[in-house]
Amino acid sequence: MGIIVQKFGGTSVANTDRIRNVARIITETYRMGHSVVAVLSAQGDTTDDLIEKAAEINPNASKREMDMLLSTGEQISCALCAMAIETMGYPVTSLTGWQAGFRTNSAYSDARIKRIEPERVLAELDKKAIVIVTGFQGINKYDDVTTLGRGGSDTSAVALAAALHADLCQIYTDVDGIYTADPRYVTGAFKLDEIAYDEMLELATLGAQVLHNRSVEMAKRYNVNLEVLSSFSGKPGTKVKEVAKNMEKMHVSGVAKDKNVARLALIGLADQPGIAFTLFSLLAKEKVNVDIILQSIGRDNTKDISFTIKKEDLARTKEALEEHAARLNFKKIDVDDNVAKISIVGAGMVNNPGVAAGMFEALYNAGINISMISTSEIKISVLVDVVDAERAVQVIHDRFFGEINAER
Ligand code: ADP
Ligand code: ASP
Ligand code: MG
């Protein structure tokens, strides 16, 4: 008998029947004798709808007011779920992020959790109540509401599990667990029984939205016992842990796709020391996160540097580069935002030199051109044309998992 944190995503609480279903899962766990804390997302597309509503009134609304608005979605689902549990005759209390002790920094719309003061939650658990907590939000040092970034309820749940020293953190969603690729788009994708924190962190960062990447980072840091499973099927899910058992054959654990990418190239930079430093320190000052970087070999005393960034940073980055054009002294900026980053992740690839070649061969056979490559010990990413993105994921997945699938 211990503390279990259960997180339910937007699809899992999308309507009355689903809220009742979630209430059933929570109360079944409670009946087994556990202390249960549930963290809920906003219902269905509520957060998107609120963003649209705000844009109708003020397309340039301040981030503070946006957070004030967006945090309400989670309050609705939590109150409704608590009401459903009341009808079932169990003691229950719903709490907002601030009531549950989430203290964050002041980066509205993308706030980081600084600490959790769990006294209120613990007091409710002591009274044997089921506690329902709004995901995605906290308060800053001014007592203003902040939100944690899209998909942030996963991070709320893991952070609460860490603060409460919970025995288990279950992330209930609309798929059975973590798959080798997004099961909605990739034929032959299959569920993994286990995955290592490091691999999942890469997959989440590289576009697999099934977990918010900061939730995985936090789970690893505090060694949270994490599981991803379906709120609909009742089947066992995927365990995320320090070291995962893997089939010997699987050098690759998953394929991810990220379309939120833009590529910039600075053409005709001077081929002399300090250019990369000047360029990237400027971008760091602008708080632009740079991902893949490619520098050409100098020729005729000039060189080119290409790099990728998030699409939402494109306008700001271009502006900063143009403003400092004289200092950087490039001939031209070339921008392409019709690109996608496709990545493979696997702790087993470091000892298997053929993995990169296998990925490139699959793309070559499909006639897909690669414009940039980046590698680390456990991942390889390539930049391709956005129109090729889905096909690229499929052929790469077939290449690495086709044989395993045939044997299954
Ligand atoms: P929730 O609302 O429960 O937080 P999300 O929509 O954020 O759910 O995440 C679940 C979705 O993640 C799935 O419906 C699936 O389409 C997508 N997804 C992307 N990559 C993967 C993957 N490797 N394994 C499982 N699901 C994935
Ligand atoms: N409701 C928020 C979103 O849609 C947070 C979450 O669901 O995790 O991004
Ligand atoms: Mg999510």
Q: What is the pLDDT of residues 199-233, one digit of tens each?
A: 999 999 999 999 999 999 999 999 999 999 999 99
pLDDT tier at 326, thresholds 50, 70, 90: confident
Residues with CB under 6 A from ligand 2: 9-10, 41-42, 47, 73, 135-136, 150-153
> Which whole-number Å values give the CA distances from 242 to 134, 197, 201, 226, 380, in the listed order?
28, 6, 11, 10, 21
CB 283 within 8 A of CB 320: yes
Cα–Cα distances in angstroms (integers) from residue 248 to residues 70, 162, 198, 346, 408, in the given order: 45, 32, 18, 12, 14
**In the numeric block, which tokens belong to residue 402?**
């086709």
Q: What is the rounded average pLDDT of the residues 351-355?
A: 87
Atom of ligand 1 nearest to the CA of 203: 23
Chain Cα centroid distance, residue 106: 20
Specify the residue with its C-alpha closest to ligand 1, atom 11. Answer: 210
pLDDT digit string, tens, across residues 61-98:
999 999 999 999 999 999 999 999 999 999 999 999 99
Q: What is the pLDDT of residue 300?
A: 84
Integer Cα distance of 162 and 325 in angstroms: 47
Q: Within 196-298, where are the H helices?
A: 197-205, 213-221, 275-285
pLDDT at 350: 83
Q: Is the pLDDT of residue 33 over 70?
A: yes
Structure confidence at residue 240 (pLDDT):
97
Nearest CA to ligand 1 atom 25: 178
What pLDDT score was predicted for residue 13?
98
The two tokens of residue 247 are 């089939």
- The residue contributing the CA closest to ligand 2 atom 4 is 47
Q: What is the pLDDT of residue 277?
A: 94
**Using one digit for the tens of pLDDT, what is the confidence trace for 48-63?**
999 999 999 999 999 9
What's the pTM value of the predicted model, to 2 decimals?
0.94
pLDDT tens, position by position, 131-185: 999 999 999 999 999 999 999 999 999 999 999 999 999 999 999 999 999 999 9
Structure confidence at residue 390 as a pLDDT band (50, 70, 90): very high
CA of 250 to the centre of ligand 2 (A): 32
pLDDT band at residue 272 using 50, 70 and 90 as cut-offs? confident
Cα(151) to centroid(ligand 3), Å: 4
Q: Nearest C-alpha to atom 21 of ligand 1 is from which residue?
A: 182
pLDDT at 299: 83
Query: 249 pLDDT band (50/70/90 cuts)?
Result: low
Ligand 1 pocket, mutate which of 21, 172, 173, 253 (most atoms under 8 A from CB):
173
- Dist. CA 146 → ligand 1 center (Å): 24
| Whether residue 247 has pLDDT greater than 70 | no
